[in-house]
């Protein structure tokens, strides 16, 4: 048979454990929220993703294409002074 | 919301979910082993195991929602529910869907444990041993940061922690406090039947 003091001690120990459980749960929740932000930031720093890729694509494409989307010719364009040829038909 | 922010949130929430799930698995194994001390009663392990499992579901939901609404991948809600239905990284995302559904089954059956009975609950709870490695594989296969030093270290810590807990579980054997009484009772019954 347990004495009153022993029962009181067990109740106090249980209350203390419950408080510890609540603190640990709250701590884990806060840590997890902070973790999402922190790990997301680390991920963004290490692999920033689309931002840098699109910039490089834009800069590389601008060097090879004109504003109208036509590629510049690497061979020089020369003008022809010969007489025109009439073409009929076609659609 | 900025698309890049969604993508960063997906990656962060995925990593946190893996850490939480690993902690849940370790605590589950420790609760089976009835680990306790003066300042750490057994119900503390079980309570923390339950609370962290629910928390894992919340962060997993954040991971899934941010991934689905991210317009870059065009995953769609079907990919979050039906395994291997995504056009984007089909196999690895399918593993993630399976892991999520296994965890959902484990948590839901735990919440209605009183209704379904101990043996059915235990049977479903064994799925955790399938859920965790599938989730790790999903992270390794799908994760943008899988081979980044920080996530690789995080995954390695999770894997080592869970494997250590499983090894401890296998070495420690059953911690049933009535194991000796049960075996002696069964032996007595066997002797009586032999007569």
Q: Looking at chain A from residue 63 to 82, which residues have their Cβ under 8 Å from any Cβ of chain B?
A: none
> Coil, strand, or helix at residue A65?
strand
Q: Do B72 and A50 touch (CB under 8 A)?
A: yes
Statement: the pTM of the whole predicted model exceeds 0.80: no
Question: What integer pLDDT is reported at residue B134 of this predicted model?
Answer: 94
Inter-axis angle of helices A4-46 and B3-32, nearest 10? 150
Q: How far is A12 from chain B (nearest CA, A)?
A: 11
Q: How far is B188 from chain A (nearest CA, A)?
A: 30
Average pLDDT per block of 10 residues along chain A, 91 residues long: 79 88 94 93 80 42 40 47 48 37
B48-77 pLDDT per residue, tens: 999 999 999 999 999 999 988 888 777 888
> Quick one: which of B71, B69, B68, B70 has its CA closest to B82?
B68
List Cα–Cα distances, B86 to A54, A81, B6, B108, in angstroms.
Answer: 25, 60, 19, 25
Angle at B121 between CA B85 and CA B57, to 5 degrees: 50
> Coil, strand, or helix at residue A71?
strand
Q: Looking at chain B from residue 68 to 97, which residues have their Cβ under 8 Å from any Cβ of chain A?
A: 72
Chain B environment of A46 (Cβ under 8 Å): 145, 148, 150
Chain A environment of B8 (Cβ under 8 Å): 40-41, 43-44
Q: Which residues of chain B have pLDDT under 50?
A: none
Q: Show the DSSP H helices in chain B as ranges.
A: 3-32, 42-69, 77-81, 90-111, 113-116, 118-125, 128-142, 149-172, 179-194
Angle at B153 between CA B149 and CA B159, to 5 degrees: 145
Q: What are phi and psi of B170, to 5 degrees?
A: -70, -35
CA atoms of B78 and B67, how far apart (whole Å): 12
Question: What integer pLDDT is reported at residue B85 of this predicted model?
Answer: 81
B61 touches chain A (CB under 8 A): no
Chain A environment of B55 (Cβ under 8 Å): 25, 28-29, 32
CA atoms of A46 and A31, how far apart (whole Å): 21
Question: Is this complex's ipTM strictly greater than 0.85?
Answer: no
Chain B environment of A40 (Cβ under 8 Å): 8-9, 11-13
Q: What are phi and psi of A76, to 5 degrees?
A: -65, 140
């Amino acid at each position: 048979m347990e004495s009153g003091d022993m029962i009181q001690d067990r109740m106090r120990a249980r209350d203390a454990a419950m408080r510890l459980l609540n603190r640990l749960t709250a701590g884990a929740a806060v840590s997890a929220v902070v973790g999402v932000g922190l790990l997301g930031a680390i991920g963004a720093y290490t692999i920033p993703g689309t931002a840098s890729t699109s910039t490089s694509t834009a800069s590389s494409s601008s060097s090879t294409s004109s504003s109208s989307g036509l590629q510049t010719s690497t061979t020089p364009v020369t003008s022809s002074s010969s007489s025109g040829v009439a073409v009929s038909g076609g659609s | 919301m900025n698309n890049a922010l969604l993508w960063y949130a997906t990656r962060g929430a995925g990593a946190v979910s893996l850490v939480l799930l690993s902690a849940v698995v370790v605590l589950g194994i420790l609760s089976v082993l009835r680990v306790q001390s003066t300042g750490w009663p057994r119900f503390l392990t079980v309570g923390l195991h339950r609370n962290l499992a629910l928390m894992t579901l919340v962060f997993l939901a954040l991971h899934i929602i941010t991934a689905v609404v991210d317009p870059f991948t065009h995953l769609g809600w079907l990919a979050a529910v039906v395994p291997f239905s995504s056009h984007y990284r089909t196999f690895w995302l399918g593993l993630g869907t399976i892991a999520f559904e296994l965890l959902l089954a484990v948590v839901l059956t735990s919440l209605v444990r009183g209704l379904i009975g101990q043996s059915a609950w235990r049977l479903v709870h064994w799925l955790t041993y399938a859920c965790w490695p599938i989730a790790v594989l999903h992270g390794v296969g799908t994760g943008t940061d899988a081979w980044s030093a920080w996530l690789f270290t995080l995954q390695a810590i999770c894997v080592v922690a869970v494997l250590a807990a499983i090894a401890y579980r296998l070495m420690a054997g059953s911690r049933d406090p009535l194991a000796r009484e049960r075996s002696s009772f069964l032996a007595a019954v066997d002797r009586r039947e032999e007569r």
